[in-house]
Structure formats: C-alpha cells, structure tokens
Amino acid sequence: MTDTKDNILVWLPSPMGDAILCTPALRAIRERFSSSKITFFASSIVRQVFSPCGFADAWLEQNKSGVFATARMLKKHNFTHVIMFKNSFGSALTCLLAGIPARIGYARDGRGILLTEKLYPPRLPSGEFEPITIVDYYLAVAAKLGADVRDRRIELWVEPKDAEKLKAKLPAVFNAKGPVVILVPGAAAGPSKRWPADRFAQIADQLTEKYNATVVLSVAPNADEKHIAEHIVEDAKHKPINLGDTPVGLGELKALIAVADLVICNDTGPRHIAIGLKRKVITLVGPNDPAWTDPGYADEIFIKGDAPCAPCDKPVCRETSHFCMEAITVEMVCKVAAKVLDAGSFGKRGVI
C-alpha cells in the first residue's frame, strides 16, 4: 500500500478491551496514510469508547446483519483496501464478497486464501499461538504496511460534554477531599476473572478509613454485575458510590475514570480505559495469561493469583474452589494500593 488517497476500511476488533489495545496501530496507520480516507468499522460500543477520535475520517457501525447484508452495505462505499484487525473467517469472507480488492490481515481461522496480503501469528512448537501482547500483535499489521510503530502508547479521549454531565450526576466525586478510587468487580468475559465481592468490600472500607477515599463501584448495566455491586455495598461498612444504582454511559464512565487517582480492577474493559486515560491501575489476574494483554504500561501493577491450574483461560472456573483469584488477598491489594496513594496529594477536582 502507498499513501495515494486510497479509500481504506479498517475493521476493528469486537471486544472493547482489544479495540483499545489496537490504538497504537491505528495511530500508526493514520500517520502512514495521511492522504487517504480511513473509515473505521466497529460496534457501537467500540465507537462510543473511542469518541472523540482523530484516527478516522468516518465510521460505519457494525450490527447483527449477516455476511451477505454486510457485504452489500460495504460494497456501496467502494473501498480500495481493508485492514482487518478482526480475526474471524466471516470478516474476510464479507470483504471478499464486498469486492474490496486489497484485503490485509492475519492468515488464521482458515481464512488465508481470502486475503491478498497476509501475516502469520507466531506459534509455539506445539502449534498453539504464542502468547504475545495484543498491542504488538496489532502493531505488526501496521508495520507490514510500512508504518512507524515505535509509539506503543494506548490512547483514549474524553468529550467535555460527558465530563459536564458526570459532574452534575456525581458531584461527590468532584468534591472529594481524599483520593477517588474506582473498583471494577465485574468481568464481561466470565466469572472466572472476578475477585470475590466480599474482598472488594473490605478494600473499600480500608481505603475509606485510611485515606478518606471516595470509592466508586463501576459495574456494567446488567443484572449479574448489579448483583455483585449490591453484595459489595451490603458487606461494606462505608457505603461506596454504586454505579449499579446511578448508571452512566460509556462517555461518562471515561470522564469518571479520567479523574480517578487509582483504579483497582479485574482484567476487563475498564482496565484498558484506565490505561488509555493514563491512570494508576492495579489489575487482579487469575485464570488468564497477562502476556496477552500487558501493554507495558508503567503505571499498571499486576497482582497475580498463583494456582496449579492457572492460567486456564476458561470463562468459568472448573475447579472445586476458585484457587487463582482466591490466592489474591485483601492484604496484598491494600499493600500495593498504599504505595500508590501514599505518594499522592488530593484536592477538589475540576471538570476535565
């Protein structure tokens, strides 16, 4: 590919976290093809978490339409190239049927024959994929296209209007006298990634008592995660702000995370939002191998629960007890949180 005012489609990954980890590659592609029109194709959730974003000239939102309907829609835009960060066979077939002449992506999941320019993911001698950070996995695509990939920063941005809405909705956060700490006790990928709710309650109490922290529980707006938040609030002596009761949109969630002094989370989407907004992050890891998602961010600390069965990468624990996540104690988390918060000075927060 050369930067000759091409019409480029970039098909983003579906999971929110993976899409955020793709931002270094997207920035590199934008710089490499500055004269071309670049259109991002993604779910509405990914678009919301990226907005505002200067890496694309236009957006197309992916819905649940089938391969043929999506191909017909894409065909109308006369794309000259598609860069596929989504790895599925269906995405490659869709782009072939859409008549996009140049189709670039990883040759995996049986789709190599559908691509015109392909990369091969590194594999172990066993044939399994080699665990490498997704940041580098995506940057390799940009490098294949001649982009400068030395900048590995994860980036996200906040809309000023979302910060204003959040200030009206959660004034206690902006009037906090101590640190603002966000706890993320859920995990969209499955319950095996979740640290026990009662331990999050103990963390909330200890940080409130020692640091006068304003603690916020960030949970997704579904019944499962709302129930987790209710459990934490019920167990805690000092009641945290519960977003299960005061739901916020993705834009407002970004505005909230952007003013946090510390985010303590399971390995899930808000973790990557916090990294993209350059927050201090403590990530609790059990069943998954952090090698896949570690962006090398200096202000993130992993606390890994060691267990003979980990990493299993299973969404639901199959053991008699949740050994890996239960191996992470409240004392371990408090000790690391103290190192972060003891170095801080906290005052009234303005609108971003």
- The model's pLDDT over 94-152, given as tens digits with 9 standing for 90+, comes to 999 999 999 999 999 999 999 999 999 999 999 889 889 999 999 999 999 999 999 99
Output phi, psi for 185, to 5 deg: -90, -5
User: CA 85 to CA 48: how far, in whole Å?
Assistant: 18
CA 117 from chain centre, in angstroms, equals 28
* Residue from 284, 276, 278 nearest 299 by CA: 278
Q: Which residues on adjacent β-strands are paired with residue 118?
A: 105
CA distances from 338 to 51, 185, 207, 236 (A): 33, 19, 9, 19
Residue 254 · residue 223 · CB < 8 Å: no
Which amino acid is present at 166? Answer: L
Q: Which residues is 41 bridged to in the sheet?
A: 11, 60
Q: Cβ distance 28 to 142 under 8 Å?
A: yes
* pLDDT beneath 50: ranges in the chain: 348-352
Please state the pTM of the whole predicted model. 0.91
The pLDDT, as a whole number, for residue 348 is 45
Residue 86 CA: distances (Å) to CA of 19, 82, 105, 314 = 9, 11, 8, 21
What pLDDT shows up at residue 321? 77
CB 2 within 8 A of CB 117: no
Instruction: Label residues 33-70 b or e (16+ Cβ within 10 Å = b).
Output: beebbbbbbbbeebbbbbbebebbeebbebeeeebeeb
pLDDT attached to residue 325: 85
The pLDDT value given to residue 287 = 82
Q: How high is the pLDDT of residue 70?
A: 96
